[in-house]
Chains A and B, each alone.
Chain A
Amino acid sequence: MENFWLIILGLGIGTFLIRFSFVGFSHRFHITPDWKELFSYIPACLFPALIVPGLFFDQGQVQWLWGKEKLIVALLALGVSALTRSILWTLGSGLLVLYILR
């Protein structure tokens, strides 16, 4: 693979600069309470997009759940997560239920 090292270097530097962008200049601007409040919504704005599409469009194997077993198990796990606030319980119960269903 020609150019491999140049591409990796470019990709590495560029990705670092994206990550560094706001952090690097954070001391230059005053983060007002308004911005802080807006930033506090970033998890709620971003994480669902990491979670939902993959579950929604998953074509699973369990026929009596129309192949939507991941979506249904995830909703159960959401309940577990809200009750226990524990990643271990959420992961453990979610993975176990999906394993049993399949």
Chain B
Amino acid sequence: MSSLFRKGFFAMLPITVGIIPFGAVMGSVAAEAGLSLWQSSAMNLFVFAGASQLATLDLMDQQAPWFVILATGFVINARFFLYSAAFAPWAKESPTAMKMLSSFFLTDQSYAAMSSQEAHFKTSRDGLSFYLGACLCMFFAWHGSVTLGFIFGNFAPSSWNLDFAIPLSFMSLLVPSLKNRKYAAVALFSSFISVLLSGLPLKLGLLSTAIVSLIFVKLFLLRKTTWKIFGSSS
């Protein structure tokens, strides 16, 4: 086990403070919806994306048609297109099996944990090791907390406001990636847009905020050069 893998694992530990209460809710909701522990665990394993799991479980409980359930799940998870694009450079030189494994574990938190440490990685392999360590920690935290939530119900003491740990940890993962004023300005801009777009259903506010903000970056902050998608850089 490389030291970066271990570092990634431990970097994720504090972030699990926010993940565990969410998993507890997920597990208790799955139990209330009448899923067996097997079904709940299988959903966790195959989908591994909390927000979409909660929403689709609710729809299944309401006997919604299967295509509505699938479409809802995919729309909520469409933000992973962006994470996939952002993560692609790190997995670029890896064999296909590693690309598949690292994609499978791609979550908001594991990407955020890696991107916040970006400046410290010498090679893309370093970043990948750190990321995989973070993923393993995330995996244990998510499966453990959902299983416990399934068995014991929602166990997180509500007076501790542990759900507040989610925005706090994203904030502290965002700060290191604000390298200069330009990045800080973009973060302010997207904060503003996210409030405006928060009324959109299915967490679409998230993806649309990111797209509007990226267009803002492209139009106003990047050098004006001819852009190439394929082929060598100019």
* Interface residues in chain A, defined as those with a beta carbon under 8 Å from any beta carbon in chain B: 1, 3-12, 14-16, 18-24, 26-27, 29-57, 70, 73-74, 77-78, 81-82, 85-88, 90-91, 94-95, 98-99, 102
Rounded to whole angstroms, the CA-CA distance of A86 and B11 in the bound complex is 10
A81 to chain B, nearest CB (A): 4
CB–CB A26/B89 < 8 A: yes
Whether A9 and B46, one on each chain, are in contact in the complex, defined by CB atoms closer than 8 angstroms, is yes
Give which listed residue, B84, B223, B233, contacts A19 with CB less than 8 A: B84
Is the beta-carbon distance between B183 and A23 smaller than 8 angstroms?
A: no
The answer to whether A52 touches B213 (Cβ under 8 A) is no
Q: Which residues of B contact A3 (CB under 8 A)?
A: 66
* B104 x A19 contact (CB < 8 A): yes
From A45, A70, A102, contact of B209 by CB (8 A): A45
Do B168 and A1 touch (CB < 8 A)?
no
Which of B1-9, B143-151, B154-162 lies on the face that meets chain A?
B154-162
Which residues of A have CB within 8 Å of B122?
none
Question: When chains A and B are docked, how far (Å) is the Cα of A12 from the Cα of B77?
Answer: 11
Complex Cα gap A77–B174 (Å): 12
Of the listed residues A15, A29, A30, A35, the one surrounded by the most CB atoms of chain B closer than 10 A to its CB is A15
B22 at the interface (CB under 8 A from A): no
Q: Can you list 23 A-B contacts with CB-CB less than 8 angstroms, sorted by A residue number?
A: A3-B66, A11-B43, A11-B47, A12-B46, A14-B77, A18-B78, A21-B80, A21-B85, A38-B217, A43-B115, A43-B173, A46-B82, A46-B213, A48-B209, A49-B190, A49-B210, A50-B108, A53-B194, A85-B176, A87-B15, A91-B17, A91-B165, A95-B17
Closest to B95 in A: A27
Do A90 and B172 touch across chains, with their CB atoms under 8 A apart?
A: yes
Given that A24-B103, A26-B89, A52-B191 are known contacts, is A45 also in contact with B165, CB under 8 Å in the complex?
A: no
Across the interface, B171 reaches (CB within 8 A) one of A10, A12, A16, A51, namely A51
Contact A1 B34 (CB under 8 A): yes
- CB-CB < 8 A to A82: which residues of B? 175
The reply to whether B214 and A41 contact each other, CB–CB distance below 8 Å, is yes
| Beyond A14-B77, A18-B84, A42-B214, 5 additional pairs, beta carbon < 8 A | A11-B69, A12-B46, A44-B190, A47-B174, A55-B167
Residues of chain B lying within 8 A (CB to CB) of residue A95: 17, 160-162, 164-165, 168
B52 at the interface (CB under 8 A from A): yes
Leading 6 A-B pairs by shortest Cβ distance: A12-B46, A45-B213, A49-B194, A53-B198, A26-B88, A49-B209
